[in-house]
Amino acid sequence: VKKKIFAANWKMNKSFKEAQSFCQSVKAALSSDFYNSAEVFIFPQNFSLAAVAEGASNTSIQFGPQQIHKESKGAFTGENSLDLAIVLGSKICLIGHSERRQFFAETDELVNHKIKLCQSQQVRPVFCIGETLAQREQNQTEKVCEEQLSRGLFGVDKQKNMVIAYEPVWAIGTGKVATNEQVKSVHQFIFEKMTGWGFTDFQILYGGSVKADNAKELISIPYVDGFLIGGASLEAESFINICQA
Ligand code: PEP
């Protein structure tokens, strides 16, 4: 049985101190039993990555950057490398979040490069895909998801673990959650594609306005292996409530 994954994406929020106290709360609330059936991922802003590394020590909490540069080091002022995140203990990395695609011009090709970089360093990528509202209204959801998947995964190692986060762009930070039917249908589509392409070890997370009060229902949908949580991951209490759903 696959472990459920509860992943917090703090975006550009949370100071070093706030990150420390969040980790303390999660540590206190989730017993070691919890981690037998679930994994907790935290994606802090880079200035707080070290705080989470410290707060997560001696726990099963995993953490990693929200974005990395495509090179491991060099003259790229202002950028952050996967290598330096690994030094802090990162074993996961968020790749291709829709905000990166939308505001920072990340292409499928760049996403593909970064996924391969993660794989070469034994880091598990959490690879985000999803359609915009206009694309859904034009019945292009499956086409868009398939294109993002096939381009993002071009030439990657299919035996290595891959976490896909399906996040309909129109549901991120909007309070609009995809319906159970929409979630099931896209997750099943992704599952069948991945299996058909020969991927043997993957999970599919849902993201988009997940909250404590809808988590229980969403987690019971077939092919949903966990969540990527933005807004509701900013308070330890609501994040913990989602994990406990
Ligand atoms: C996200 O940022 O990945 C996300 C799903 O945000 P929210 O939960 O706030 O919709």
Catalytic, out of 39, 99, 131, 167: 167
Q: How far is the CA of 75 from the centre of ligand 1 (A)?
A: 32
Query: How do the pLDDT tens digits run along the chain, 245 residues long?
Result: 889 999 999 999 999 999 999 999 999 999 989 999 999 999 999 999 999 999 999 999 999 999 999 999 999 999 999 999 999 999 999 999 999 999 999 999 999 999 999 999 999 999 999 999 999 999 999 999 999 999 999 999 999 999 999 999 999 999 998 999 999 999 999 999 999 999 999 999 999 999 999 999 999 999 999 999 999 999 999 999 999 98
Residue 209 CA: which ligand 1 atom is closest?
Answer: 10
Give the C-alpha separation, 123 to 121, whole Å: 5
Confidence at residue 244, expressed as pLDDT on a 0 to 100 scale: 94
Cβ neighbours of 2 (radius 10 Å): 12
Nearest to 66 by CA among 14, 22, 30: 14
- 231 CB-side CA count, 13 A: 12
Q: Is the CB of 208 under 6 A from ligand 1?
A: yes
Q: How far is the CA of 74 from the centre of ligand 1 (A)?
A: 32
- As to burial, measured by CB atoms within 10 angstroms (0-12 exposed, 13-18 middle, 19+ buried), residue 91 is middle
What secondary structure letter does DSSP report for 197? Answer: T
Q: How far is the CA of 208 from the centre of ligand 1 (A)?
A: 5
Q: Is the CB of 207 under 6 A from ligand 1?
A: yes
Confidence at residue 1, expressed as pLDDT on a 0 to 100 scale: 80
Helix, strand or coil, per DSSP, at residue 111: helix
Instruction: Identify the helix (H) or strand (E) that includes residue 204.
Output: strand 202-207
Name the residue with the closest Cα to ligand 1, atom 7: 230
Give the C-alpha separation, 94 to 162, whole Å: 11
Identity at 108, one-letter amino acid code: D
Q: How far is the CA of 168 from the centre of ligand 1 (A)?
A: 10
Which residue among 9, 183, 241 has the greatest number of ligand 1 atoms within 8 angstroms of its CB, and so is best to mutate? 9
Q: How far is the CA of 76 from the centre of ligand 1 (A)?
A: 28
Catalytic, out of 97, 99, 106, 131: 97
The sheet carrying 162-166 orders its strands as 62-63, 38-43, 4-9, 226-229, 202-207, 162-166, 124-129, 92-95
167 annotated active-site: yes
Q: Is the CB of 218 under 6 A from ligand 1?
A: no
> Structure pTM?
0.97
